[in-house]
Amino acid sequence: MSIKANKNLITITTKNTSYQMKIDELGYLLHTWYGERIEDNEDMSYRISNMDRGFCGNPYETMDRSYSLDVLPQEYSTFGNGDYRADCIQVINPDGTNVVDLKYDSHKISKGKYELKGLPAFFWEKEEGESLKVNLIDKVSGIRVELLYGVLEKYDIITRSVRIVNTSDNVLKIKKALSACIDMLDGDFELVHFHGKHAMEREFERSPLAHGKLVLESKRGTSSHQQNPFVILAKKDTTEIYGECIGFALVYSGSFIIETEIDQVNQTRLVAGLHPEQFSYVLKAGDELVLPEAVFTYSNGGFEKITHSFHDAVRNNLQRGEFVHKHRPILINNWEATYFDFDADKIFDIALKAKSLGIEMLVMDDGWFGERYDDTKGLGDWYVNEKKLGSSLKELAKRINAIDMKLGIWFEPEMINEDTKLYREHPDFMIRVPNRKGTKGREQFVLDFTRKDVRDYIRDMMVKILDNANIEYIKWDMNRSLSAVYSSNLAAESMGEFHYRYVLGLYDLLNELTQKYPSIMFEGCSGGGGRYDLGMLYYHPQIWLSDDTDAIERLKIQYGSSFAYPIGSAGAHVSASPNHQTTRKTPFETRATVAMGGTFGYELDLNKVSKTEQKMVKAQVKDYLKYDELIHEGDYYRLTSPYDKSRVTAWQLLSKDKSLGLLSVVVQSVEANESNIYIYPRGLDENAYYKIAEEKRRGKVWMSGGLVLPRIKEEYESFRFEIKRV
């Protein structure tokens, strides 16, 4: 049993960790522990010491002036009861007041996992994990807050969500509703977070927390390139393999907020969920509101342990569909090979060459539909442009299948250009505030996915295409942020629901299509990694990691993304040199080494590379197929960081049984009169013998003595060493 209630204590236990809450004498639900595993009857509230502090209010029912919610650690902080720190919920009552005062009402422990209607969430069988529901009630407003917890014991994973129910006869307006609060009694944390921009996502940054707030957010309607809904709270001395830290993520793909704060007495709070600036929700009598899931894990073994727990849980208990644990075809995508300038023959030529080198699927990217000759028009007209292609899609699929290749195509279902049949016939499908022109992004606008009729219309067009040609892969792109939003379907007082309903609408369509076409492999994309989050990974086995295909820049992008997201979920391609985004020249083999740090593919015209490089493709494909399972199911180790002074970035994959590994090293900078570079593998069986680079040594020796990197022959050179137990 991983959840135990013992008098007024509720303790959640995983393999290595414990999480504890306590219903105190006033009925408030305090958070008393998250950390190393303890026994479930060990009351960790002894660590809380109250004192009479000035300007820290006390609940009316107590005479104890040392009791204040302003400093007590809580499971779900609220506004209006004397806690002035970051709150999780704000409600406007019918009389205009905004107090929420939540007291414990009841709880229930059950086997299996709770479900969140319409939202992506972790899942597991009854025997695999347990769930807890704690009901909190504000008797005056009639708000019931159901705190939901899920426990995946073997991976040290805890999930949380919240269901808010209006049990009153009044209409309530929810102004802020977050998914989780984590209160820690000490303030010795730093925040590791992942910021970025288009074509440079998830840059690692480690910032001290301060008295006051450090807020990470997206108001773009997507989880965004700029901030990612995954963070790590880390003790100051925590490193990759040492020390305490908590990894925290939202299973959500829209606007979000993560607020962190050190309070007046040096305690740390983190709250996270839907971005409140873009949210308000009218909750009628009897209605309920379900909030996105949050997931977290505690590690006393540095960041690496967080990564292993997240990777295992995501690929086994979040990602769905037949492709998660199955070989994903090595693809070639025509985007950087042709951009919009292609027809069916050109696509076929690319496919033909790729096939001769071992590649398994051709993906025809943007430009095959409507009047899509460039990026100013066509989005929303999902009809095959046979004039441009010089062929029907069915014919093209037949030609490609005839050479034993699969065909995939690109869609951007959420978008519309004004220069389209769709806009001319259904201008109201587009999000546009009345009397305002709005903001363009790449000349395009967003469709009102809060509306079912709009989603159905787009679905019907897509279905027609998918039912008429043998399409085995879809790249689902999304190339702008939402700005001013409006829906003719929402009353003025409900317009604050738009952003949330948009994401629910998107999930609804994704759900429908992935269920209808289980054998089509979906790859997510939002201008690369603008929506690289756990919500999207529920629907897509993989996501195109970034529009930056420069192998050296990708080292950082892949490094940052690897903290939470399984590396097999990262679409990674070998592209041309000089690189189209940075103009950097890199060796062909290095581009492959880096792309094998993800789900491997190509994105260039292989008819245009040298014969030697074509031969290299054959060998790379063979190599990738050899390590395919390792890359998708193995444990990932960040051996060095691309941000360190070290001249190389190195990472390692190791199979679960520790018998096979792949150690990859990329030289980032060269120097004269160079000193030795040692790479220290990790995770090997200490007493087993391993062969690396033709040398046989004991696991322990490799791990402590390291591998001496051969002399570097050129800038940006790379190495791939097999690790084989012998």
For position 528 contacting ligand DGJ by CB under 6 A, the verdict is yes
Q: Is the CB of residue 530 less than 8 Å from the CB of residue 312?
A: no
The residue (of 335 and 429) whose beta carbon lies closer to ligand DGJ is 335
Exposed/middle/buried for 608, CB within 10 Å: 0-12, 13-18, 19+? exposed
Residue 410 CB, nearest distance to ligand DGJ (Å)?
6
Helices 452-468 and 393-402, axial angle in degrees (round to 10): 50
Residue 576 CB, nearest distance to ligand DGJ (Å)?
14
Is 322 marked active-site? Answer: no
Cis? peptide before 578, omega within 30° of 0: yes
Point out which span in 206-214, 393-401, 521-529, 561-569 binds ligand DGJ (CB under 6 A). Answer: 521-529
Label residue 60 left, alpha or beta by phi (over 0 means left) and psi (-120 to 50 means alpha).
Answer: alpha
The residue (of 570 and 630) whose beta carbon lies closer to ligand DGJ is 570
Point out which span in 129-137, 444-452, 525-533, 587-595 binds ligand DGJ (CB under 6 A). Answer: 525-533
Residue 224 CB, nearest distance to ligand DGJ (Å)?
14
**Residue (of 638, 530, 582) closest to 192 by Cα position:** 638
Alpha carbon of 667 to those of 65, 590, 654, 710: distances in Å? 62, 9, 21, 11
Task: Tell me the per-residue interface mask from 316 to 335 with ligand DGJ, x by CB under 6 A, - otherwise.
Answer: -------------------x
Write b or e for each residue in 321-351: b if 16 or more Cβ atoms lie within 10 A of its Cβ, otherwise e. bebbeeebbbbbbbbbbbeeebbbebbbebb
The residue (of 82 and 221) whose beta carbon lies closer to ligand DGJ is 221
Residue 333 CB, nearest distance to ligand DGJ (Å)?
7
For position 544 contacting ligand DGJ by CB under 6 A, the verdict is yes
The residues, any chain, with a CB within 8 Å of residue 366's CB and separated by 6 or more, are 335, 340, 372, 375, 410, 412, 477
**Residue (of 437, 444, 442) closest to 414 by Cα position:** 444
For position 410 contacting ligand DGJ by CB under 6 A, the verdict is yes
**Residue (of 643, 477, 480) closest to 557 by Cα position:** 643
Helix (H, G, I), strand (E, B) or coil at 149: strand
For position 522 contacting ligand DGJ by CB under 6 A, the verdict is no
Residue 601 CB, nearest distance to ligand DGJ (Å)?
11
Residue 365 CB, nearest distance to ligand DGJ (Å)?
5
Label residue 577 left, alpha or beta by phi (over 0 means left) and psi (-120 to 50 means alpha).
Answer: beta
For residues 462-491, which are near ligand DGJ according to CB under 6 A? 477, 479
Point out which span in 113-121, 224-232, 522-530, 592-600 binds ligand DGJ (CB under 6 A). Answer: 522-530
For position 525 contacting ligand DGJ by CB under 6 A, the verdict is yes
The residue (of 79 and 532) whose beta carbon lies closer to ligand DGJ is 532
Instruction: Find the binder of ligand DGJ among 229, 302, 527, 598 (CB under 6 A).
Output: 527
Q: Locate tokens 């958070």: which residue?
A: 31
Alpha carbon of 381 to those of 128, 417, 425, 437, 462: distances in Å? 45, 9, 11, 22, 10
The residue (of 458 and 723) whose beta carbon lies closer to ligand DGJ is 458
The residue (of 570 and 639) whose beta carbon lies closer to ligand DGJ is 570
Exposed/middle/buried for 99, CB within 10 Å: 0-12, 13-18, 19+? middle
The residues, any chain, with a CB within 8 Å of residue 376's CB and separated by 6 or more, are 417, 419, 443
Alpha carbon of 634 to those of 59, 62, 152, 602: distances in Å? 52, 55, 19, 23
DSSP 227: B
Residue 198 CB, nearest distance to ligand DGJ (Å)?
9
Instruction: Find the binder of ligand DGJ among 75, 366, 497, 717 (CB under 6 A).
Output: 366
User: Residue 338 belongs to what H/E stretch?
Assistant: helix 335-338
Which among 130, 201, 533, 589 is annotated as catalytic? 533
The residue (of 409 and 490) whose beta carbon lies closer to ligand DGJ is 409
Token pair recorded at residue 475? 């790249």
The residue (of 159 and 333) whose beta carbon lies closer to ligand DGJ is 333
Residue nearest to ligand DGJ (CB): 366
Instruction: Find the binder of ligand DGJ among 547, 550, 628, 717 (CB under 6 A).
Output: 547
The residue (of 304 and 365) whose beta carbon lies closer to ligand DGJ is 365
Chain centroid to Cα 193, Å, comes to 13
Chain centroid to Cα 585, Å, comes to 30
Point out which span in 216-224, 289-297, 523-531, 691-699 binds ligand DGJ (CB under 6 A). Answer: 523-531
Is 533 marked active-site? Answer: yes
Which among 87, 244, 477, 613 is annotated as catalytic? 613
For position 550 contacting ligand DGJ by CB under 6 A, the verdict is no
Residue 697 CB, nearest distance to ligand DGJ (Å)?
43
- Longest CA–CA span in the chain (Å) reads 85
Helices 611-633 and 588-595, axial angle in degrees (round to 10): 20
Q: Is the CB of residue 593 less than 8 Å from the CB of residue 631?
A: no
Task: Tell me the per-residue interface mask from 22 to 61 with ligand DGJ, x by CB under 6 A, - otherwise.
Answer: ----------------------------------------
Alpha carbon of 433 to those of 237, 413, 414, 519: distances in Å? 50, 21, 17, 39
Residue 369 CB, nearest distance to ligand DGJ (Å)?
12
Point out which span in 139-147, 203-211, 520-528, 577-585 binds ligand DGJ (CB under 6 A). Answer: 520-528
Residue 529 CB, nearest distance to ligand DGJ (Å)?
9
Token pair recorded at residue 231? 């963070």
The residue (of 4 and 442) whose beta carbon lies closer to ligand DGJ is 442
Residue 564 CB, nearest distance to ligand DGJ (Å)?
20
The residue (of 381 and 547) whose beta carbon lies closer to ligand DGJ is 547
For position 411 contacting ligand DGJ by CB under 6 A, the verdict is no
The residues, any chain, with a CB within 8 Å of residue 23's CB and separated by 6 or more, are 8, 10, 29, 30, 104
Helix (H, G, I), strand (E, B) or coil at 337: helix
Instruction: Find the binder of ligand DGJ among 87, 304, 312, 365 (CB under 6 A).
Output: 365
**How many residues sit in the footprint of ligand DGJ (CB under 6 A)?**
11
- Active-site residues, by number, are 533, 613
Please report, as ranges, the residues that interact with ligand DGJ according to CB under 6 A: 335, 365-366, 410, 477, 479, 525, 527-528, 544, 547
